[in-house]
Amino acid sequence: MLRSFIMQLLLINLPSQLYSDVVQLFNEAFFTCNVGQYLDAITSKHRNYDNFTMEYFNNIALYKYAICCINFPILSALVLSNKYNEDTRKLVGNILTDVGTWSQINNDFIDYYDDDKRTGKTGSDIQAGKCTWLAVTALQRCSPAQREEFIANYGSWEPEHVTRIRDLYQQLGIDLIYFREEQATYDRIVNKIESLPANAALSADFFKTVVNAYYPNVTCGESFKLQKS
């Protein structure tokens, strides 16, 4: 019913020349988000930690978050401003998909690290056995004994098991790895932006405005401070 209402609202409020493009974007976002949610759910259900790879995580991040939560609203805005075409679509996909992937990593980190009262987010990725960036990064760096500990405790709602996983993340220095990766991904994205030709369909300033909004730690220098601390 809710999806039907969306289509009807678009039909009522959009002129015919824009309706087709916007509906196509909505349908793409709906499809890709469902694919991402399925990948996320099936991985947590099966708990085969051999599948907890960075490639698999990136696929979850791409479909579950990047396309529908980052690319989709920007592309929709381009349609409404009469700037949507094949060139602008490619530019958004090339640059902002990376931002979307990072945003999913950030979401995983907040689930583990942040104060629930401050963010309003109840951390349950460990208990639910999610294929998160933190879990994948930990498994990449675990010793055989640490991997056994991870397998024995991950995906459990027992407070003691959750504490053991959180302690393991601390031992592996996951927070420091996160802040280093934050800076590295930001630098890669900015390099892409600065490599745009002067006559690009969307300006470098446009992309920098969007990107900087998703990297407040980097742009205000907090990431460096946190690494040093």
| Residue 193 lies inside a defined structural domain of this protein | yes
| Residue 203 lies inside a defined structural domain of this protein | yes
Rounded distance, CA 108 to CA 204, Å? 29
Taking the model in full, what pTM does it have?
0.87
| Residue 200 lies inside a defined structural domain of this protein | yes
| Residue 199 lies inside a defined structural domain of this protein | yes
| Residue 216 lies inside a defined structural domain of this protein | yes
Report pLDDT digits (tens) over 42-76: 999 998 999 999 999 999 999 999 999 999 999 99
Q: How confident is the model at residue 224 (pLDDT cuts 50, 70, 90)?
A: very low
Report pLDDT digits (tens) over 8-28: 999 999 988 899 999 999 999
Do 3 and 30 touch, CB atoms closer than 8 A?
yes
| Residue 44 lies inside a defined structural domain of this protein | no
Question: For position 122, what pLDDT does the model report?
Answer: 64
Provide the number of structural domains found in the chain.
1
Buried b / exposed e over 87-105, threshold 16 CB at 10 Å, is: ebbebbeebbbbbbbbbbb
Residue ranges making up the domain that contains 209: 174-229
| Residue 196 lies inside a defined structural domain of this protein | yes
Q: How confident is the model at residue 116 (pLDDT cuts 50, 70, 90)?
A: low
User: Percentage of the chain surpassing pLDDT 90?
Assistant: 79
Range 221-228, long-range pairs (CB < 8 A, 24+ positions): 223/179, 223/182, 223/183, 224/183, 226/175, 226/179, 227/176, 227/179, 227/180, 227/183
Question: For position 32, what pLDDT does the model report?
Answer: 95
Residue 226 has pLDDT above 80, yes or no: no
| Residue 214 lies inside a defined structural domain of this protein | yes
Report pLDDT digits (tens) over 128-158: 999 999 999 999 999 999 999 999 999 999 9
User: Percentage of the chain surpassing pLDDT 70?
Assistant: 91
